[in-house]
Amino acid sequence: MKKIVVLGCLLCGYVGFSQVRVGFENNSQWYVDDQKVKIDEKEADERFRSNSYLKVDYDYKKWTFGVQVEGYEPKALLNYSPDLKKVDLGTIYVRYNDIENGLDVTAGHFYDQFGSGLLFRSWEDRQLGINNSIFGVDAKYNLGSWGKITALGGRQRIGMGFDLSKSLILGGDLEISLSDMIDTGEVDLTVGGSYLGRVLSDNDANKELDRFTNGYSFRADLLSGNYYLNVEYVLKNKDYLFEGNTILDEFKQKGGALLVNSGYSERGFAVNLNLRRMENMGFYSEREKYGNDYNAATLNYIPALTKQYDYSLQNIYVYQAQSSFDIYTGGKLGEIGGQFDLFYELPKGSVLGGKYGANIVLNGSYWAGLKNKMNSSETGVEAGFFDFGDKYYHDLGLEVRKKWSKKWSSIFMFLNQYYNVGKLEFKPGVVNVNIFSAESTYQFMDNKSVRLELQHLWADADKKNWMAGTVEFALNNNWSVFASDMYNYGNDDKEKRIHYYNAGVSFTKGTMRVSTSYGRQRGGLLCVGGVCRMVSEAAGLTIGITSSF
């Protein structure tokens, strides 16, 4: 961490040019034991841990040069990949972008996405510990209003810097606007197709197995007036699976996915519907990384298609997309289901809307496994295209946002959930959950505000009932303080009736933010944008710093 901080200070003093962009981020934790929450004995050797990132980009005419240095010292934060360690180069690239002639080429580490990402997406999310960049060449050519072409190739980052996958990744994408090629009237229609190939190295131990795996996707986007419709279909060739340090050469399973997004909107009203069927869509640059806990070496982006909830108790029984094939431990092949959102704005001056109006959001989702059976004629598992299997999850939520005056507003939400613990966590039983949340914010003296949040969760199994609360006070435009607590008062095991308290302060000025807090962290799934990782229970001091210039 010290090396990165010193380098950042030197850059601050040396570069003041508008062509240079610098970003710095540090997240540090000091872990402690208390009476209720203890750090895992295997991790107790290092109580202070830190993740640091220093990113520098330099623009010169049509060229951009960039580098990111990362530090994980003395070790990375708990639950991050053990491949992230010490101080080293994270990413490095050079980009040539000729907007006038439609050419955009990047050499080095790059991020890209085909369509929705179901076939291919490389991205970075520091909170989840994900950096799935490709080290190679990414070339794009803009066809003007007609569309664009992308071609890429390289090896995927699986650790620090130049720790790259053994496989070669090749891909291409073509997107065409039919509306600009032919006269489609008031209808905007765009179609696209993608290819992604993974070529594994000739490993002596597995050289008799196929080295090539190919994936294809086809999509269409339609927009007409207030309506929109997006459809994408993905195919992945059969591939061997890797489980428990062993290649399951008796199984060679195909993959595929269908995604449909549609909706309608007008002033004060909108409705959206998302449907997805997914079969064995875990796609990794190395077979050995299949189903790993750190989302390392993933070639595609498969978020859970459920509402991303804001409140802590709503995220205890959070659904994680079931993308991987798992015949031994649960008989899972994938998932099928969908979600809907309905938004309605109560007009100002109406009986229910009052002087300032109100917003109502109704959201729900349903997810099940694919009903499947062993294929008797050849190794593998098969499922009917629309055959629903065991129910995994559902939720139904109603949210009301109401402004009472120019300074006072509130949010009320009720959420019902069904969570199949047996299928999603391989523990017995299911949990039925009801959650009520209420929040109010009051602003006063121009730049001060206080926010109060109260929640309660009723559950008929697992850890039973919870209550939670947060109070946050913004002293001015720069300083704010908060205190929160989650209490599992209904746990049948009295020793596990734990208060997960937290208190902290933050300072913000311009692009710099410094925050610190002390308290306990509840174990479970941490999700960002529908992608999740497991975190363990912990207690201690947390410090975060972000800055850019």
Indicate the domain borders of the chain.
1-27+49-100, 102-302
Separation between Cα atoms, residue 516 and residue 502, nearest integer Å: 10
Residue 334: strand pairing partners: 279
- How wide is the angle at C-alpha 249 spanned by C-alphas 333 and 288, nearest 5°? 75
Output phi, psi for 8, to 5 deg.
-65, -40
Q: 360: how many CB neighbours lie within 10 A of its CB?
A: 16
Residue 70: strand pairing partners: 53, 88
Q: Are 371 and 387 in contact (CB under 8 A)?
A: yes
- The list of the chain residues with pLDDT below 50 reads 6, 9-10, 12-16, 204
Output phi, psi for 178, to 5 deg.
-65, -25
- Closest Cα to residue 534, out of 524, 548, 545, 546? 524
Rounded alpha-carbon distances, angstroms, from residue 148 to 110, 114, 120, 142, 218: 18, 12, 17, 4, 15
Reading the block at residue 352, the tokens are 């229910």
- Closest Cα to residue 332, out of 246, 450, 432, 243? 243
Q: What is the DSSP letter of 347?
A: P
Q: Are 258 and 235 in contact (CB under 8 A)?
A: no
Place of tokens 């729900």: 364
- Helix (H), strand (E) at residue 7: helix 2-14
* Sequence-distant (≥ 6) Cβ neighbours of residue 393 within 8 angstroms: 306, 319, 365, 366, 367, 417, 418, 419, 420, 424
Q: Characterize 48-83 residue by residue with b for buried, 16 or more Cβ atoms within 10 angstroms of its Cβ, and e for exposed.
A: ebbbbbbbbbbbeeeebbbbbbbbbbebbbbbbbeb
* pLDDT given at position 38: 81
* Sequence-distant (≥ 6) Cβ neighbours of residue 2 within 8 angstroms: none
Q: Are 194 and 170 in contact (CB under 8 A)?
A: no
3-class SS at 379?
coil
Q: Are 131 and 165 in contact (CB under 8 A)?
A: no
Return the sign of the alpha-carbon dihedral for residues 297, 301, 306, 307: positive
Separation between Cα atoms, residue 234 and residue 133, nearest integer Å: 21
Q: Are 381 and 333 in contact (CB under 8 A)?
A: yes
Q: Are 477 and 447 in contact (CB under 8 A)?
A: yes
Q: Are 221 and 259 in contact (CB under 8 A)?
A: no
Q: Are 357 and 299 in contact (CB under 8 A)?
A: no
Separation between Cα atoms, residue 280 and residue 285, nearest integer Å: 15
Separation between Cα atoms, residue 489 and residue 496, nearest integer Å: 9
* pLDDT given at position 18: 55
* pLDDT given at position 374: 65
Q: 329: how many CB neighbours lie within 10 A of its CB?
A: 8
Q: E-strand spans in 404-511?
A: 408-419, 431-444, 448-459, 466-474, 479-487, 499-509
Place of tokens 């990414």: 138
Separation between Cα atoms, residue 527 and residue 309, nearest integer Å: 10
Reading the block at residue 361, the tokens are 């959001």
* Sequence-distant (≥ 6) Cβ neighbours of residue 494 within 8 angstroms: none
Instruction: Tell me the residue type at 502.
Output: N
Separation between Cα atoms, residue 342 and residue 373, nearest integer Å: 37
Q: E-strand spans in 206-352?
A: 212-224, 227-243, 246-266, 269-279, 334-346
* pLDDT given at position 379: 57
Separation between Cα atoms, residue 26 and residue 48, nearest integer Å: 13
